[in-house]
Chains A and B, each alone.
Chain A
């Protein structure tokens, strides 16, 4: 327990997590994840939450606090997109209705498993599955894209699929779509569940679903998903704050300040790199985090026992 005086001064006691962490470590983590999210145009929640596990923040606090941070880091993004009119408010609202339902369901599942002592497992399993699938898909897709650009063929977007056969059709003018509301609501619900359980915005699921499943034009996808994410993660933050008391505002602000600065730097690095190279890099990074979490579940832990709050009789 011997640390030098300099680092000891930078220790900050987090009032809700009830642990003492180095303030520069948190600013640095926020900064690194911010750089990555700026480079790749992703929210970064799916990287930040596992990193918070690794530095010893209790998973319940990490998930709830990350939801709070995502609201803040998406806020200026949404404003920019609203100004550019690249938000499909109607589609965003439909996705949002699904998202709120999903978030409420997610928090109920989260609290039930917390009482059973299985919440860490649930959160980590979700991460392994989603990071594994998304990482592999992205990796394969960007490899294909690189090969196709070399052979000179442009990938074609499917215009018509099974989604167009469903009832309850609605016109989405900004996206130029006339489709059933069922698929967007379902996309919203699943993203809401993920937001509550994993502490992520869910952009990494929603953006591909909007492009490939709903057939939305790429220019409105990011703004619309950010619009939905802001409200769903705000709702999730309030649910966690009122039922679990696990939102740590001090932690959130430290991560945020690092994150915003990092994002600005990342955006500039991102402009200088090719899109396919970026995607391959991101895919590899996602797979590394996934692999680390998977190993934790598969290898025998050095401590088999863990201490949790009493479940009550």
Chain B
């Protein structure tokens, strides 16, 4: 009796281990894991590449697909809609979005709906609309979804939200690579980078790392001073501006003389 119990526990343990261990895993490389926003920062490109490590032969059936999602720091925000009031266009209705990444890029190895099932998207929050969390609109607004659509549209236009289908190249179901364009108007923070391996639309493995985006040098110093010591920053701004203005006119006077 006792012996059979032990054996079944052991069996369960062994099967459990087998089930949790991933048959295919990501080994990742980034062309850079730190992006510095300098004075002449004009956007950047990150090459995300990697290999799939597996203990056994490539499984039969649908091919391996790869999804890469890069997300900037999230913040709550307000989306407002204009309406014509007394002849002019005025902001009227507003919807609060609880959490929206400042940057979000999804790169896939095929059409998103083919490589990712909706239920998996819901669980891992991969596609752009799923990455945005909007809890509730005021009761007087019926079309709350048009506000989140507008958010995606506006940020998409300035390249802050990107969906690039079939931009991940997968070679022999083992190597993959893609290049993510980061626009110039970038907010600093930790950019969570997630890689998902899928088969038949189901996520079989995932990997997460962060890319550090930071203002450096003068940009960093000015920004921190303006938030940490706003009064000193203000006085300094006035002093610099007066000095610059005065010097410029003095130089001009010398040239004229």
Contacts of A307 in B (CB 8 A): 77-80, 151, 154-155
User: Using an 8 Å CB-CB cutoff, how does the interface string of B58-98 with A read, 1 for contact, 0 for none?
Assistant: 00000000000000000111111111100111110010110
Contacts of B41 in A (CB 8 A): 11, 13, 20
B176 to chain A, nearest CB (A): 25
Of the candidates B41, B77, B78, B94, the one having the most CB atoms from chain A within 10 angstroms of its own CB is: B78
Is B78 a contact partner of A121 (Cβ separation < 8 A)? no
User: Using an 8 Å CB-CB cutoff, how does the interface string of B111-133 with A read, 1 for contact, 0 for none?
Assistant: 00000000000000000000000
**Complexed CA–CA distance, A249 and B222 (Å):** 8
**Complexed CA–CA distance, A241 and B190 (Å):** 26
> Which residue of chain B lies nearest to A11 when distances are taken between CB atoms in the complex?
B42
> Which residue of chain B lies nearest to A311 when distances are taken between CB atoms in the complex?
B78
A-B contacts at CB below 8 angstroms, number: 180
If A18-B185, A264-B252 touch, whether A249 touches B82 (CB-CB below 8 Å) is: no
Is B39 a contact partner of A257 (Cβ separation < 8 A)? no
Is A305 a contact partner of B147 (Cβ separation < 8 A)? yes
> Which residue of chain A lies nearest to B187 when distances are taken between CB atoms in the complex?
A18
**Complexed CA–CA distance, A224 and B161 (Å):** 52
B244 located at the interface, meaning its Cβ lies under 8 Å from any Cβ of chain A in the complex: yes
> Which residue of chain B lies nearest to A13 when distances are taken between CB atoms in the complex?
B41
If A264-B252, A310-B96 touch, whether A245 touches B187 (CB-CB below 8 Å) is: no
B249 located at the interface, meaning its Cβ lies under 8 Å from any Cβ of chain A in the complex: yes
B47 located at the interface, meaning its Cβ lies under 8 Å from any Cβ of chain A in the complex: no
If A305-B150, A311-B78 touch, whether A256 touches B252 (CB-CB below 8 Å) is: no
Contacts of A299 in B (CB 8 A): 89
Is B222 a contact partner of A16 (Cβ separation < 8 A)? yes
Contacts of A120 in B (CB 8 A): 91
A308 located at the interface, meaning its Cβ lies under 8 Å from any Cβ of chain B in the complex: yes
Contacts of A18 in B (CB 8 A): 185, 187
User: Using an 8 Å CB-CB cutoff, how does the interface string of A51-86 with B read, 1 for contact, 0 for none?
Assistant: 000000000000000001101110110000000000
**Complexed CA–CA distance, A263 and B88 (Å):** 36
Pick the residue among B83, B89, B235, B240 that contacts A253 (CB under 8 A).
B240
Contacts of B147 in A (CB 8 A): 305
Is B39 a contact partner of A72 (Cβ separation < 8 A)? no
A18 to chain B, nearest CB (A): 6
If A261-B252, A305-B80, A310-B78 touch, whether A12 touches B241 (CB-CB below 8 Å) is: no
Is B230 a contact partner of A13 (Cβ separation < 8 A)? no
**Complexed CA–CA distance, A11 and B183 (Å):** 12
A69 to chain B, nearest CB (A): 6
Contacts of A249 in B (CB 8 A): 222, 233, 236-237, 240-241
> Which residue of chain A lies nearest to B231 when distances are taken between CB atoms in the complex?
A242
If A238-B234, A247-B233, A310-B75 touch, whether A75 touches B246 (CB-CB below 8 Å) is: yes
Chain A, interface SS category: helix
A237 located at the interface, meaning its Cβ lies under 8 Å from any Cβ of chain B in the complex: yes
* Residues 1 to 45 of chain A near chain B (Cβ within 8 Å): 1, 8-9, 11-13, 15-16, 18-20
Pick the residue among B88, B89, B244, B256 that contacts A257 (CB under 8 A).
B244
Q: Which of under 10, 10 to 19, 20 to 34, or 35 or more describes the interface residues of A?
A: 35 or more
**Complexed CA–CA distance, A299 and B89 (Å):** 8
Is B154 a contact partner of A242 (Cβ separation < 8 A)? no
A300 located at the interface, meaning its Cβ lies under 8 Å from any Cβ of chain B in the complex: yes
Is B81 a contact partner of A15 (Cβ separation < 8 A)? no
Contacts of A108 in B (CB 8 A): none
Contacts of B223 in A (CB 8 A): 15-16
A306 located at the interface, meaning its Cβ lies under 8 Å from any Cβ of chain B in the complex: yes
Contacts of B88 in A (CB 8 A): 121, 125, 297-298
B186 to chain A, nearest CB (A): 8
Contacts of B184 in A (CB 8 A): 11, 13, 19-20
Is B246 a contact partner of A11 (Cβ separation < 8 A)? no
**Complexed CA–CA distance, A18 and B219 (Å):** 10
> Which residue of chain A lies nearest to B227 when distances are taken between CB atoms in the complex?
A245
List 18 extra interface pairs beyond A16-B223, A303-B150, A310-B76, CB under 8 A. Answer: A13-B39, A13-B41, A13-B219, A72-B238, A121-B88, A237-B237, A238-B235, A241-B226, A241-B231, A303-B153, A304-B83, A304-B150, A305-B81, A305-B150, A308-B79, A308-B80, A310-B75, A310-B97
Closest 7 CB pairs of A and B: A241-B234, A305-B150, A20-B184, A72-B245, A72-B241, A260-B248, A310-B76
A-binding residues in B (CB < 8 A)? 37-43, 75-84, 87-91, 94, 96-97, 147, 150-151, 153-155, 159, 181, 183-185, 187, 215, 218-219, 222-223, 226-227, 230-231, 233-238, 240-242, 244-246, 248-249, 252, 256
17 pairs, CB–CB < 8 Å, chain A vs chain B: A16-B222, A18-B185, A19-B184, A72-B245, A75-B246, A121-B88, A238-B231, A241-B226, A241-B230, A241-B237, A242-B231, A260-B249, A261-B252, A305-B80, A305-B150, A309-B78, A310-B76
